[in-house]
Structure 1
């Protein structure tokens, strides 16, 4: 067990360094390409309630996608750490006017407002961040397990998760744990992976 946790930490560090080494031009091109692909994705075209995230630490930039989805009149939601249920996420409605705060990890998130919360079961699409992924749909996150808990019952909820990443975040194989939830689809600028 210690070996696997250690291997996961080493892999996280390595892939985070890779994505942080991308130039601004590479980041920009990746974000624009991904935005175009996702705006034409069948699940997103028919979705009304979409959760995504604000990019952090070299993650593929979601700002072009957010702007494009707002233009399409989609309702967007951002994850917030649940204040009363440790290790879980809430999803809050996100508009250009949403009051934002800085999370202790340095991530911007909406100020908690219970009137803005949408239950996970009512999200049509959950655009999911990840640190690394493999060709079997396994996802390595930041290590908190927030998305694994959120996606545990996605097949019965009606919410469809899509992981997004830079191409350099693909690895040959990930150390896998029982609680890890594989994704049905991961989209990178150059490829769509479906399982």
Structure 2
């Protein structure tokens, strides 16, 4: 199978999701701890005061062991929320132990609508310092394959233009890395990808 042909993306996405599902609960737990140790070393995490992360589903690597460390550093934490009445885009809503939660249509836990719609609980994506984003696959150039819905690409489309913008840190299990991925014109580049075994960054040219 050619990993560089866009026609292979559905099959590749299925294979990479199969790889992470094959990990045992203990392998998942150890991977999450190793990932969070790596995240703590990244300058984009260490200097951030406003961070968005996600609550994992379907064997995604778990970034939530990072939360106590972030709380000690008085970092404000936000979660992505499906934006109501909008095509595949996200809000970023404040999150703590008292945030009322529901499960959205994909079975992902998120702050409930009556909480999320209040502007005082939301932050525009450009005002975040760092986003920790899930992915299905990544390559050695830190290219990202997502779930295919385009939620992050649409929500971060402003990053194609000059102005304030967050660092984007993709996270995944090491088994989700491939040699190369096709890059689409609408893809928003990542700052780096962190896994349980290492960190990759795009190689700058020119």
**Does the alignment reach a TM-score above 0.5?**
yes
Mapped contact 1:138–1:181 kept (Cα < 8 A): no
2:154 aligned partner = 149
- Count matched residues: 193
Mapped contact 2:139–2:181 kept (Cα < 8 A): yes
> How far apart in 1 are the matches of 2:31 and 2:42?
16
> How far apart in 1 are the matches of 2:64 and 2:89?
24
Pair 153,137 (structure 1): closer, same or farther in 2 beyond 3 Å: farther
> How far apart in 1 are the matches of 2:171 and 2:156?
15
TM-score, normalised via structure 2 length: 0.88
> What per-residue deviation string (whole Å, max 9, x for no partner) do you get for residues 21-67 of structure 1?
11122111111111112123212111110001001111111221123
1:106 Cα deviation from its structure 2 partner: 0.7
Correspondence list, 1:49-64, <5 A = 49-64=50-65
The answer to which of 151-160 and 96-105 deviates more is 151-160
For the residue of structure 1 that corresponds to 2:29, the secondary structure is: helix
For the residue of structure 2 that corresponds to 1:27, the secondary structure is: helix
> How far apart in 1 are the matches of 2:130 and 2:168?
6
Pair 176,40 (structure 1): closer, same or farther in 2 beyond 3 Å: closer
> What per-residue deviation string (whole Å, max 9, x for no partner) do you get for residues 118-153 of structure 1?
111110001111000111221110011011122333
The unaligned stretches of length 5 or more in structure 2 are none
Moved over 6 A (4+): none
1:172 aligned partner = 179
1:125 aligned partner = 130
For the residue of structure 1 that corresponds to 2:30, the secondary structure is: helix
> How far apart in 2 are the matches of 1:170 and 1:46?
27
For the residue of structure 1 that corresponds to 2:78, the secondary structure is: strand
Pair 179,158 (structure 1): closer, same or farther in 2 beyond 3 Å: closer
> How far apart in 2 are the matches of 1:119 and 1:179?
20
> How far apart in 2 are the matches of 1:186 and 1:94?
23
The unaligned stretches of length 5 or more in structure 1 are none
The answer to which of 35-44 and 7-16 deviates more is 35-44
